[in-house]
Amino acid sequence: MSIATKHGDKGQTALIGGRRVSKADLRVEAYGTIDELNSMMGFARSICEDDEVAELTKEIQRELFVVSGAVANPRAHEKEPQDVNAEIVERLTKEVNRIEAMEGILADWSLPGEHTASAAYDMARTVCRRAERLVVHLGEGEEVATQVIPYLNRLSDLLWLFSRLIELRAGVDAHLRNETHKGARWSRAW
C-alpha cells in the first residue's frame, strides 16, 4: 500500500466521514494549518535545549493530532470529541499561569530572534494564531467542536511563554524597550 493514493490529484480530499471537498476548503485550510503548527513545534522542540519545555511541547504535539481531527470532522459538534475537552484547555491554562508567575517573564514586549529556540517557538505561536483565526472563520459558517478555539487560544499564549522562559533561562535579553526605544513595558502573546 502506498501513501500516493492519487485520490487528491484533482484537488479534492476527504474529510472525516468521507465527504469530498476541495483542498482549498476552509476546513481543510484550518486543519492543514494545525498540521503546520505541529511541524513548527516539532522543529522548535528539535533545537530546544530546555528539557522541560521540550517535553511539554511533545505532549502538546500529540494532542494537536486529536485537535486537528476534531477540525477535520464536520460533525464533531454533534458528539463532542472526548479528547478535545475543557480539561485539556485547563491543563494549558495552568501551565500559562505557572510560567507567567515566574520572576522576569512578563517584563516587556519581546523582540523575537534573540535566541534560536525561542525564535522557533515565536514562529510556532504565529502559526497557532493563524490556525485559531481560520477555525474562528470556519465557525462563522459551520459548526466546530466547542473546545478547539479555546485550546488554540491558550496554546498560543503558552508558546509565547515558552519563548520567554527559554530566553530567561538562557540569560538572553529580548526586551523590546531600551534606552532609545521608550514606551510602556508590558508583554502580551497577541
Q: The CATH number of the domain where 100 resides is what?
A: 1.20.1200.10
Q: Residue 14 pLDDT > 90, yes or no?
A: no
104: left (phi over 0), alpha (psi -120 to 50) or beta: left
* Top-confidence residue, 113 or 129: 129
Q: Is residue 187 part of a domain?
A: no
For the ranges 2-11, 21-30, 151-160, 168-177, the lowest mean pLDDT is seen at 2-11
The predicted-structure confidence for 97-116, as pLDDT tens digits, reads as follows 999 999 988 667 788 889 99
The predicted-structure confidence for 160-184, as pLDDT tens digits, reads as follows 999 999 999 999 988 776 666 666 5
Strand partners, 24: none
Q: Is residue 9 part of a domain?
A: no
The tally of domains found in the chain comes to 1
Give me 25's grid cell: 476548503
Q: Is residue 72 part of a domain?
A: yes
pLDDT band at 47 (very low <50, low <70, confident <90, very high): very high
The Cα–Cα gap between 106 and 147 comes to 27
